[in-house]
Amino acid sequence: MHSEEELIALSKVAEVVQWSAPLRSPISSLKDTCHTFNDYQEQTMDIPITNPTSAPPELPPEPLEARDLAVVQDSGHENDVDQHKQDGQQLLDAWASNPREFAANSLPDTADPSESKEAWALGRIIKGRGISGLIPGEAFVRTFAPLLGDGMISLRQAAKAAAQTDTSALTALEAKEWHRLLALRDVKQGFQYWRWRGHLIRYTQTGSGPAVLCVHGFAASAEQYTGLMEALSGQKVFALDLLGYGHSEKPPLSYNQYLWEDVVVDFIKEIIQAPCLIIGNSIGGYFAASAACSVPHLCRGLVLMNSAGPLLPTDEWEEQKNQLDTIFDRMKNGSVQGYDPPPQWLIDGFSSVLFSVLFAVIEPSLRVLYPSSPERVTPKLVRNIERDALDPFATVVVGAFPRFPPARSLNELIEGFGGRVLVVNGMADRLGGGPSNQPIRVDGLKACGADAVPLKNVGHCPHDEAPDLVAAAIQEWCVDLKTSVP
């Protein structure tokens, strides 16, 4: 039987023609009144999942269909595909017979952080508490999402296997179908989608010229960058919904900073395919800095807006470097130990309570974060946050932070990047230590070599609250530093 890696590799040599295989045959699109996963459940509650069927010999391609089943044409690999599909079913059978044993054999507890920091972070949890330390359904998703995305197995096949053994895996598959149907509707409205490790990632782009990538913060989405994208004339601007946010899928995974770093890096490599200016806000600023450090040759400049992430005093950072005691050094030498995370039921319970409290105060809380332009807190912005929080496994995303491994400092990331950095900081930010801490934060980043443009009276999300001011600062900086051309 071929390995999972061989199955995934097949998609790189075969021409896959997409066709639609909805989880339930009668439902190939969402109703106009279907806006949340709860609405989707009402639409599907009385309709059983369709039994798996074989692919016909040929079907015309359709845009963005799920590739649940695939036909390979004129590639010289038709027989291999048939064999790989059989192997996919055998993998499903092996998992269904003993999910725990299958997961233990599939997911390693060690990985070289120089090759994959995300795999290292996952191994740290497995080493700390074994497979039981993972999110319910995670082992299944990590194994089969790439195969589902590449058409080696169908959602129906996977659902039939999951129904026998793992309700969390079945919920994850139901969520995949919800996001597939949501994506089909989004595409008609001008959005685009990219498949990352088998998961749908929504993004948007506008303009032409040197490439720019915008990375949003916690509980936000690409839509929060609409104003800045319009204001950045002469640039080809991309904005994506990170995995777990916006309209992107929210699979049950052990989310951490290195997973989101990988999303940003792979988006640059696979979609932008050119060096770009990376812009990030809040925790998205930290992910942007991590990506810039990881692939400095693909980042022509870094813009941080009220970025999250630890910032060390200069003397402390220099001491860490001299003693080869940075976080990445510790990751490589094994001094960061295995980690036994809190029980997921406890995190989910806390996240659910948090959601119930925050739902009542989303709008007034946002207005506090937009002090100079509270009118930009629109009903649509509030609805987007509410909608995203109702997706399956949203509590897993919100509760991910206790699973984070030790965070590399911004000092470490900026120095590792080695390129030009601009800090555009809202000085009236109520987060990150409040307004009194913003000058200290800006000075600390300037000590790392960054240029800075402080925005008086602007809060935590300058790109959405004052997009014209942010665009002007970025464009002037690009011209002055001659970074507008890759």
Average per-residue pLDDT for the chain: 87
The region of weakest confidence among 244-258, 324-338, 401-415 is 324-338
pLDDT top residue among 154 and 194: 194
Instruction: Give the model's pLDDT for residue 13.
Output: 42
Q: How many CB atoms lie within 10 A of CB 434?
A: 10
Instruction: Give the model's pLDDT for residue 87.
Output: 75
Query: Hey, what are 100's tokens?
Result: 């725990």
pLDDT confidence bin for 1, thresholds 50/70/90: very low
**Cβ within 8 Å of residue 110, ≥6 positions away:** 123, 127
Q: Please give the span between the terminal C-alpha atoms of the chain, in angstroms, as a whole number.
A: 45
Q: What is the pTM of this model?
A: 0.89
Query: Hey, what are 322's tokens?
Result: 């001299």
pLDDT top residue among 436 and 337: 436
Instruction: Give the model's pLDDT for residue 450.
Output: 97
HSE-CB at 302 with a 13 A cutoff on CA atoms is: 33
Over residues 398-427, the mean pLDDT reads 95
For the stretch 86-115, pLDDT in tens is: 678 888 888 888 888 888 888 878 889 999
The arrangement of strands across the sheet holding 211-215 comes to 192-196, 199-206, 236-240, 211-215, 276-281, 299-305, 421-426, 451-455
Instruction: Give the model's pLDDT for residue 299.
Output: 97
303, 224, 215, 306: which is closest to 265 by C-alpha? 215
How far CA 70 is from CA of 22, 55, 67, 192, 381, in Å, comes to 13, 7, 6, 21, 38
pLDDT confidence bin for 484, thresholds 50/70/90: very low
The yes-or-no verdict on residue 2 having pLDDT over 50 is: no
For the stretch 122-148, pLDDT in tens is: 999 998 888 889 999 999 999 999 888
- Per mean pLDDT, which of 9-13, 59-63, 449-453 is the most reliable? 449-453
Instruction: Give the model's pLDDT for residue 84.
Output: 55
Over residues 355-362, the mean pLDDT reads 84
167, 200, 198: which is closest to 181 by C-alpha? 200
Q: What percent of the chain has pLDDT over 90?
A: 64
Instruction: Give the model's pLDDT for residue 353.
Output: 85
Give the relative orientation of helices 99-106 and 138-149 as an angle to the nearest 10 degrees.
70
The domain locations on the chain are 4-97+135-187, 192-339+404-481
The yes-or-no verdict on residue 272 having pLDDT over 60 is: yes
Instruction: Give the model's pLDDT for residue 322.
Output: 93
Return left, alpha or beta for 63; rule: phi > 0 is left, psi -120 to 50 is alpha, else beta.
beta
pLDDT top residue among 50 and 306: 306
Cα 310 to Cα 215: distance, rounded to the nearest angstrom: 18
The yes-or-no verdict on residue 274 having pLDDT over 80 is: yes
Query: Hey, what are 449's tokens?
Result: 């070599």
Would you mind telling me the total number of residues written for the chain in this entry? Answer: 486
Q: What percent of the chain has pLDDT over 70?
A: 87
CATH number of this structure's domain 192-339+404-481, picked from the four choices 3.40.50.1820, 2.50.20.10, 3.30.70.20, 3.20.20.450: 3.40.50.1820
